[in-house]
A and B are shown apart, each in its own frame.
Chain A
């Protein structure tokens, strides 16, 4: 417990110092990192802790982005906090029926179902293009944070300054929340379901309800992350929910290490930085990313967290 606290504190400190020592470019680059980190904390609750691999998780990020566009753009809500709350509720509401249908299955079928729902959402975005702008997406206007308009900041200054720290705070809060959840009795039951669902049932665990709960919670985190992504880009785009974006989420999680609480955060960071560096080096950055993923899957299934032997591993022995 102590080591985790030290590691987290060091990480938070490093992140806090970043805008002061690095150019604004990097600070703005980190905003999507915050969004993905929060979304992946939720995703890994489903994957690492409950053992369900969703290939459609990006749909909740899209809910966050499109929800922001709807609440802030269409309904004119200026408060980011309210929008955040709103998209989290929408995400959870959407996750209930979808999750209810999906968690009756596991393994490949769960993956296929979630992929199908994700693509269904994708095609909805195109079908209802009057509402959603189809290919062009929906605009997400700038919102007030903590009630402050901060009009004196340009978008870039806002992103590299106040909004950066705002997101850092959000990440810390959501991480604390997730930490509590996974270390609760509920969290233990999730891991029991992951390891042996039948035995878990016989020990009084409501397997389906639990999986559904994990699904809904992960959707909430996903929507929150999506709202941050949307704020940064200023646009909600259908590509957000394409199956390859869901694949990217899995990539980031495995890259960081799905058997470790901080793995997803590390993975989001590594991916963001790696992608940025690669893009400036070569136009064939996708190839290198793909090769990296292959290397991780084949050689380092425990991800970066495993390589660095980061503590805490929430399983006594890493499962590949």
Chain B
């Protein structure tokens, strides 16, 4: 029972992080119809920057207790990379999907060396700094409090995004633009600004997710490339463009991964791809996506 609970919490924790990145992906795809292969790079950027930020902050007297909010701040600060990158992507909006994918792939390549340049080739971590928050110990198992904080953050983000998209004017405008750009423009929406804001929001979600992970895992060069595959699995299973899909998809992938690592290590990665392929073949729209013509 204890092992099960441990795996479960671990899976949900991973799902929380996945959700943040996937939500960003879905937002950008929903509005701009771009699949951002560089989402993993944003994630890694957040992770690397998180390490540096906390390292510096602690030098200047940041209390170890404030690591969690500190990392959130670090992640959000990185939102500044959003607008310039969106500006660059703007040149391929109307064009063939292949070109959009390729441009984001170019970003992946460039980011790899940016990481190498700034942070070097070795992984960087905060040495299990998450332990500062302690663990909640029950009779059977222990849950690191940090994990709970991250899960709470993901849930809050999900709720906020949901409210933002459905209850605010901004959200309505975003959804209208996603539905029909030409019409939105004709109705006076500054589509360019919306694109920029949405992309920045997506980027911020990705960088924050990356920042939040560093107390528990190291930031490494491989991160950016490996994460894309999982994020992509989430988006396929959940359905392209769907927020609910991001939520459910993250849970499925996160939990599958957690259980597979422990129970069937060799099957871990295999299982995810088999599910992705099955979904793409049987129900390409995913669980919550729009049906494919």
Contact = CB atoms under 8 A, between A and B. Distances in A.
Interface of A: 47, 53, 55, 101, 104-105, 107-109, 111-113, 115-117, 119-120, 122-124, 126-127, 242-244, 247, 250-251, 254, 283-287, 289-291, 293-294, 297-298, 301, 319-320
Interface residues of B, number: 44
B270 A123 contact: yes
Question: Per DSSP, are chain A's interface residues mostly helix, strand or loop, or mixed?
Answer: helix
Interface string B99-110: 101110111111
A109 B235 CA distance: 12
Given A119-B269, A123-B269, A297 B103 contact: yes
B113 A120 contact: no
Contact of B101 (A53, A105, A290): A53
Contact of B108 (A113, A244, A298): A244
Interface of B: 35, 37, 88, 91-92, 95-99, 101-103, 105-114, 116-117, 225, 228-229, 232-233, 236, 240, 266-267, 269-270, 273-274, 276-277, 280-281, 284, 292
Contacts of B108: 244, 247, 290
A284 to B, nearest CB: 4
A294 B106 contact: yes
B284 A105 contact: yes
Contacts of B270: 120, 123-124, 127
A123 B273 contact: yes
A118 to B, nearest CB: 9
A290 B102 CA distance: 10
B96 to A, nearest CB: 7
Contacts of B95: 301, 320
Nearest to A294: B106
A108 B97 contact: yes
Contacts of B96: 319-320
A123 B106 CA distance: 25
A290 B236 contact: no
A113 B229 contact: no
A128 B292 CA distance: 35
